[in-house]
Amino acid sequence: MTDRKQSADVVIIGAGPAGAVAGALLKRKGYRVVILEKQTFPRFSIGESLLPQCMAFIEQAGMLDAVRAAGFQYKNGAAFRYQEQYSFFDFREKFTPGWGTTFQVQRGNFDKILADSAAEQGVSIHYQHEITAVDNRDDGVTVSGLDATGKPFSIAGRFLLDASGFGRVLPRLLALESPSGFPLRQSLFTHVVDHIGDEQHDRNKILITIHPQHRDVWYWLIPFGNGTCSLGVVAEPSFFERYSELKPEARLRTLVQQDPALSQLLAKAEFNQPVREIHGYAANVSSLCGPGYALLGNAGEFLDPVFSSGVTIALKSASLAAEVLDRHLSGDAVDWQQDYAKPLKQGVDVFRVFVESWYDGRFQDAIFYAGANVDIRKMISSILAGYAWDQANPFVSQAERRLNAIVEICRG
């Protein structure tokens, strides 16, 4: 892109899952779409265990065949372990109709597949383009920045979608940042060659392990299809500070050793990738929309990685925004707060209830409760599968009340 002013119907910041899917959906409706991406693909990203709800949006965007052809690890559920307790949910056994299986993906490859698919459908993607300024109005926006060569560029659009994820471009440029209300937590994680020889271990499910002494500390183990897995631990900073004298890899190894079952499972694991850290990732904004723009996915709000809801929320926001934006660009009267922000937030708030109750122990008790009947387990399975917008599910429409009722029974 040159310094000459360009134009498009829709400008999207970020070529990750939300940006790629939104771009493809809008292109399929006949709009000229330009995506501006700061990085080059493939690039590392966290959030590797998809939820079945994602598949509907991938299919809607015409990307299903490309994702299937990639050979990612099949996923049909989630398993949980705490000391001697073990529980699992098969997403095919759920309350809500729809996809019951999905994939566990290396995000570098997955995100590139989605972006390439959007490009093949006619979306114009410009990599290594950094946004430095945005002029937004009700009747359009102008985005300015620097291209891969350091030259200035400017592009005008009828509307702007921010899918910049943790980059949170518009929240920074337009001063939209807002406290999340969640305690600060951080993650320590890497990819390992796992050498898991235990035939009982189900590679078709993400494994969530709760620390045997600290129930607010948990580990993820996400198997991939090539004998590797994503391994991480989440805790508040004060917990990690106890091991501050250790380098990241030694710290992660030490923490894995603290859980007997997990350490046995990974006894032969090779740590052949750098151990990474993310600090204080929970985020929120004062508004998901404004004059000429809307925020998608993590650019608007990120809760916590415990239920792998990040990509699901991102793709739901992309699908919902594309539908509302089509009406907007067609000249219909649109209330972005009522038509986009409110329905998106309904599902996010359901996830919020279960994230908060995970850390205070209520949802953990419900997950391990052996006496739960089949119908209740199916309702919980739907939540874990990403169907947080299904108002027919009592654990969606009355999330807090229903959860507390189950907790009272299983603790009684």
pLDDT tens, residue by residue, 53-70: 999 999 999 999 999 999
User: What confidence tens digit (pLDDT) does each residue in 306-326 have?
Assistant: 889 999 999 999 999 999 999
Task: Output the pTM of the full model.
Answer: 0.95
Determine the 3-state secondary structure of 198 from DSSP. Answer: coil
Determine the 3-state secondary structure of 338 from DSSP. Answer: helix
Quick check: bond before 212 cis, omega within 30?
A: no
Pairing of strands 130-137, 218-223: unpaired
The reported pLDDT for the residue numbered 5 is 60
User: What confidence tens digit (pLDDT) does each residue in 337-348 have?
Assistant: 999 999 999 999
- Ordered by where they begin, the domains of the chain are 6-73+104-179+282-347 (3.50.50.60), 186-279 (3.30.9.100)
The reported pLDDT for the residue numbered 285 is 81
- β-pair partners for 144: 133, 154
CA 312 – CA 341 distance, rounded (Å): 16
The reported pLDDT for the residue numbered 280 is 66
Write out residues in the chain with pLDDT < 50, as ranges.
2-4
User: What confidence tens digit (pLDDT) does each residue in 236-266 have?
Assistant: 999 999 999 999 999 999 999 999 999 999 9
